[in-house]
Each structure stands twice: as structure tokens, then as C-alpha cells.
Homo-oligomer: A and B are copies of this chain.
Amino acid sequence: MTSDHLSRTGFRRAALGRRTGCNIETIRYYENIGMMPDPPRTAAGYRVYDETHVSRLRFILRARQLGFSIEEIRGLLGLVDSGSQTCAEVKERTERHLADVRARIADLARIERVLSETVTKCSGENVPECPVLEALTPRPVLA
């Protein structure tokens, strides 16, 4: 690695992955779908990253950790990139996402309740009859 090819602060994909905890294939994926900018290249075609890429990737990763979809993140990044973001707009988007998260929790909580209630009815013995299987086997409509 010569300092001709990588500027004093530049580094490559593996280093970006190491600094952010991101899989290096994922970095390329984010570039392909336009979430990360196409970085400059060395003469040999190697990507060269700097601190701006670290920041942007961390933003994306943190948003993913908070359950934002790629499209939601793309929207947030678009606002920030254009400098047109306002707290009002971001708050609204976050509240929409939050509603979605709460809906998913409600779904899972319903599942959790049914499963845990059913499982308590299980004898846990070596018999073929099982309340779980009965719950999965809908009874005839008229019986």
C-alpha cells in the first residue's frame, strides 16, 4: 500500500468495516443501492474511504439498529443531504416508524400470549395428545 494511492487519511473496505463493525459485503451493497456514495478509487480500482464515509455508514447502521427500513433511511438521508431537514419532519417520520414498531410488538405479544397459555396446558408427557397440536388443528365448524 503506497501513500500515492491512498491519501494520508484514506483507507479501504476492510478498514471501514472494522471501524464500523459492518460486514464489508454490506458496504458494497449500500453503495450499489445508492445509500452510500461511490467512493473515489485508486489507479487499480480500489475504493478509498475517509471519515465522511465512516459517519454516513454509522448513521445507516444506527438507524437499522432502530428498525428503520432502508427506504426510511434513504428518506432521512435525503433530507439531511439537501439540508432541508426540520425537526417537525423528522419527528413525524419517526412517529410513523414508532407506530409500526408498536404494531409489530402487539402482533408478537398476541402470539406470545397464545403460545404461553397453550404451553401451560401441556402435560409434557410421552402421550400423543397435545394442547399445542389441538390449537393448531381447527375443530369442525359445527361441533
Interface residues on chain A, size class: 35 or more
The answer for the CA separation of A136 and B137 in the assembled complex, in Å, is: 46
> Is residue A94 contacting chain B, with contact meaning CB distance below 8 A?
yes
Q: What residues of chain B lie closer than 8 Å to A85, measured between beta carbons? A: 128, 130, 133
The answer for the CA separation of A134 and B122 in the assembled complex, in Å, is: 49
Our pick among B55, B76, B115 for the contact of A97 (Cβ within 8 Å) is B115
Question: Are B87 and A125 closer than 8 Å at their CB atoms?
Answer: yes
List the interface of chain A (C-beta within 8 A of B): 55, 58-59, 62-63, 65-67, 76, 80, 83, 85-88, 90-91, 94-95, 97-98, 101-102, 104-105, 108-109, 111-112, 114-116, 118-119, 122-133, 135-138
